[in-house]
Amino acid sequence: MSQLEVLAALSPVAFEYDVNACSSSLPASFPRSHQERILANALINGLITAPHIAHGHDTPLANTQDGEAQDDADVTIPGLPPLLRGHPNIHLRNGVINALHLAIAGESDAEKAFFVADLSRVLQQHKRWMANLPEIQPFYAIKCNPDPFVLRLLAGLGAGFDCASMGEISQVTNVGVDPSRIVFANPCKAVSFIRNAAKAGVDMMTFDNTDELYKIARCHPSAKLVVRILTDDSKSLCRLGLKFGAPLVTVPSLLGKAKELGLDVVGVSFHVGSGCYDSLAFADAVMRARSAFDMGKEVGYDFTLLDVGGGFEDDTFETTASILKNAINEHFPDRAHIRIIAEPGRFYVSKAFSIAVNVIARRAPPTLEEDSPEDDVDPEHPRVMYYINDGVYGSFNCILFDHQAPQPYVLSLNGSFHVPASVPLRASSVWGPTCDSIDCVCPVTQLPSSLQVGDWLAFDNMGAYTLCAASQFNGFDVSKVIYTAGSGVSAVEVRDVLRAFES
């Protein structure tokens, strides 16, 4: 059962008012609907002006830092949206306001769901990584979120990239990343992918079977190979060992075949599974990697690379880093000639993205009083169903494919951004917009009993395995992204890194 989260009001000005009191500042055609209360609130609090509404702009309404308007032209990347400034909550609210004045202008799909990406969170995670694992170079797993701003920021910070296809390799190289900073970390690749990786200058790639060695010997004999071993991933949300990884008992024969084919195996990789919730899995995996290093020595290889994969969780990161460092010190005490890399994904981007969604429909029993949550017979079996304009076929595919359980909080309620902490709650369910019954975002959650069509919900921690796998099923578009560099010193650093990388 989730706990309702609320956002504080943007200013101390009261949000209750008489709409007609603002009429002198509004266009003559200004509608008097429930949703227009948010626009009037914004006018009162100086977030937008009446001319802005009249012109029907479809760009973010403010680019702010510490409450002051700023020029966002200092970082301009051709083909990408503007990079704004200010706290992401400001841009979530601005996006709602923008949607409402687009509705006034008659824009189709005006209330469309949207993301806000705070790049300063990516920067902060990188600093956290370097503080805890300075010896391990991160190779960002771009399958997690191939966002163009994220790729450029991490490239500017010196990260490498874990790619699983030629499409991902092209995304990275087109940004301007040198192929030496890429690991083709898919142990089972199409022959054409191997051939084109060679043409692109990508040499480092993984394998876990004999057939892969024959393909590489034919198409990319100069590749720098990394044998991917099987580890215990039973404590992870996504068990990659079901599909990839050579059991240790097979490693000697694999390395022997690689030697016979004249291939250069440079190291060992493993992956404890995506979303690993047992940090000790890394210690066990490092021990197995040590055994694989020794097996390589017996065949005639002197490995120089250890790839500790992904699976790093935000909540347990410091604990995992400590256990991983201890394991490396124990099993690789002499590593002067060993390079260590990792493949983090969700650790970098999960908390950097939030999504705002509009309540487009509501179903409830006719006799259910909106202000009487006690009418619910069973709080675990909601009687009110809310439908939003993004779902499991879109940005919330993480529910099906990544075993996530995102929970909403109220962004706007009854035309106001101010949601009182005392608002009565009712057991509810939240559904996506498609005509498929599996499109359920939240089977049970607590939402205000007064929530209605036109209100907005938000979900945090939506940066990992969301946009990258979204479809356009039923004709619904993929939600767009508004970008901010954040506020304060981190925002300055983000812009400096991006500016330096683009120069």
For the annotated catalytic residues, the residue numbers are 435
Instruction: Report the C-alpha gap between 245 and 208 in whole angstroms.
Output: 6
Phi, psi of 64 (to 5 degrees): -120, 155
Q: Enumerate residues 6+ apart whose C-beta is below 8 A from 294.
A: none
∠ Cα 285 287 293 (to 5°) = 105
**Which residues lie closer than 8 Å to 270 by C-beta, 6 or more apart?**
228, 229, 230, 231, 245, 285, 288, 289, 307, 308, 309
CB atoms near residue 125 (< 10 Å): 22
**Residue 148 in tokens:** 């163009």
DSSP, collapsed to helix, strand or coil, labels residue 56 as coil
- DSSP summary character for residue 7: P
The CA angle 5-16-101, to the nearest 5 degrees, is: 80
Q: Can you tell me the distance from the alpha carbon of 294 to that of 34, in angstroms, rounded to the nearest whole number? A: 70
Which residues, 6+ apart, have CB-to-CB distance to 295 below 8 Å?
248, 251, 252, 255
Lookup: tokens for 431: 């559904």
Give dist(CA 417, CA 16) in Å, integer: 11
State the alpha helices, DSSP H only, in 425-475. none
DSSP assignment, residue 280?
H
The identity of residue 492, as a single letter, is: V
Alpha helices for 105-202 (secondary structure H): 119-132, 148-156, 166-175, 191-200
User: Strand 384-388 relative to strand 425-431: parallel, antiparallel, unpaired?
Assistant: parallel
